[in-house]
Amino acid sequence: MIINFSVQNWMSFKDLATFSLVATKERQHGERVPKLKKFQTRVLPVASIYGGNASGKTNLFKALGFMKQFVVRGTSLEGAIFVEPFKLNLSCANEPSRFSLTVLTSDESIYEYSFAVNRKSVIEERLVLVSSSSEKVLFARKEGKVELHPSLEENPRLQFAFEGTRDNQLFLTNSVHQKLNEFRPIYDWFALQLELVAPDSRFESFEQFFQENHPLYSRMNLTLSQLDTGIDQLGGELVPFENIPLPEQLRQKLVEDVKEGQSVRIVAEPLNERYAVSKVNGELIAKKLVTYHRRADSDSVVKFEMSNESDGSQRVIDLLPAFLDVSSQASKKVFIIDEVDRSLHTLLTRQLVSGFLASCSEDSRSQLLFTTHDVLLMDQDLLRRDEMWVLERSLDGSSKLASFSEFKDVRYDKDIRKSYLQGRLGGIPKILLSTPLATEA
């Protein structure tokens, strides 16, 4: 679970912006807020982020995506670090971009991990293990040196791993890649628990929905039928791998990179067809996702290609695996969805969010964070004030982030939507256009 996230000098975030998921003292919907009894705190299971166009919502999403990419995949030998400092202030170009994330890992430990980078090198890096009563700095890297906690100094391999860490590489990443496990819990959190879903991307792990004996197969089909998509069930058709319309470079990469027993998801243009590609006995096997609709005049079904489905139905199919995964009682995933309402009817989006919240309890460890323009979700019968955030672009072009719980006039019984649309909470477009878009000559 994410407890806190901070970013500075990244894209539209010039000044330090902090996104906290620590619950406030308010009691509303308290029964579904997870409790970390060991740390005597509560962490919110959901957060919605509002804001006008170009307010910074996607930039916040990209900041977390950059952290995951940089930690898990790292950089090449001579590769640049793809940070984007704030461009509307000349002094920011010479300053590093800063990121800090405090998370609860799968073993119920809390880590605070932070780093500062420019395009050439890692300026600072720090990992802290937080206990109920103290903080233990596992390592602190600065100016080309690292200071290890005394309990780790006896391991010469850690110091050796740091000496082999390139300037453009994180020590955390290199130590794990060198098969050292001291910092693996936080690395695994980035690699295995953090999932980001962009507006034009599809949730990766849906190959199980091809398998009729998989528990999620029936859940997916039942939910699809209940969301008025017209789809009776999903199915997978075996197709020759060589028949999938793919660029040759991608085809060769799949041949080389897909491991035995592994499945990967690909989307083939121009029809947005979804395929699951697996390696079995050294050969690539492909299945294409298709849908089946029931005839009105009989019990038989008709097969539809994915290109025959509406944009909304395709979006539901793409997002449902994420919602089913995060709603599982055993889930410890954190899903961050940019523009969750894209191509979806507002009532459908609300149902997906409320369905997730119905699965939450004091013992839950999964989270759903999303950006949206859908004001129907801005409802205190659905979300708490501290679960609703707003981003606004300041006069200098930078993004400012605030929780609705910070506004004193936002009471628990207040119609937040009305105040928001009136501009009293910020985060709405400042529209200056007052004349017709076209005038006759």
Average pLDDT over residues 66-80: 94
pLDDT band at 12 (very low <50, low <70, confident <90, very high): very high
At 81-140, the pLDDT tens digits run 999 999 999 999 999 999 999 999 999 999 999 999 999 999 999 999 999 889 999 999
Q: How far is CA 128 from the centre of its chain?
A: 23
**122 with 167: CB under 8 angstroms?**
yes
- What 8-state DSSP symbol labels residue 81? P
pLDDT value, residue 422: 80
Phi, psi of 192 (to 5 degrees): -115, -25
Q: Residue written as tokens 């009136």?
A: 422
Between residues 424 and 241, which one has the greater pLDDT?
A: 241
pLDDT band at 201 (very low <50, low <70, confident <90, very high): low
pLDDT band at 203 (very low <50, low <70, confident <90, very high): low
pLDDT band at 218 (very low <50, low <70, confident <90, very high): confident
pLDDT value, residue 408: 77
| Neighbour count for residue 316 (Cβ, 10 Å) | 23
Checking if the pLDDT of 258 tops 90, the result is no
Tokens read off for 72: 């898990």
At 344-368, the pLDDT tens digits run 999 999 999 999 999 999 999 999 9
Least confident of 17-21, 253-257, 383-387: 253-257
Average pLDDT, the chain: 91
At 242-253, the pLDDT tens digits run 999 999 998 998
At 267-311, the pLDDT tens digits run 888 778 888 888 999 999 998 989 999 998 888 999 999 889 999
Amino acid letter at 332?
K
**353 with 46: CB under 8 angstroms?**
yes
Checking if the pLDDT of 235 tops 90, the result is no
Estimate the crossing angle of helix 215-226 against helix 311-327, to 10 degrees: 130
Between residues 435 and 26, which one has the greater pLDDT?
A: 26
At 51-64, the pLDDT tens digits run 999 999 999 999 99
Strand order from edge to edge, sheet including 2-8: 17-20, 2-8, 97-104, 110-117, 122-130, 135-142, 145-148
Tokens read off for 390: 């707003």
pLDDT value, residue 304: 94
pLDDT value, residue 438: 64
Q: What is the pTM of this model?
A: 0.91
Estimate the crossing angle of helix 346-358 against helix 311-327, to 10 degrees: 10
d(CA 148, CA 158): 9
User: Is the alpha carbon torsion for 255, 258, 263, 268 positive or negative?
Assistant: negative
Checking if the pLDDT of 402 tops 60, the result is yes
Length of the chain equals 441
pLDDT band at 318 (very low <50, low <70, confident <90, very high): confident
pLDDT value, residue 335: 97
What residue segments make up the domains of the chain, in order of their start? 1-199+338-432+434-438, 207-321
pLDDT value, residue 210: 64
pLDDT value, residue 433: 63
**374 with 341: CB under 8 angstroms?**
yes
Checking if the pLDDT of 441 tops 60, the result is no
Phi, psi of 27 (to 5 degrees): -95, -15
- What 8-state DSSP symbol labels residue 291? E
Strand partners, 286: 239, 277
d(CA 300, CA 61): 44
Average pLDDT over residues 146-171: 95
Between residues 225 and 136, which one has the greater pLDDT?
A: 136
b (16+ CB within 10 A) / e for 54-77: ebbbbbbbbbbbbbbebbbebbee
d(CA 211, CA 218): 10
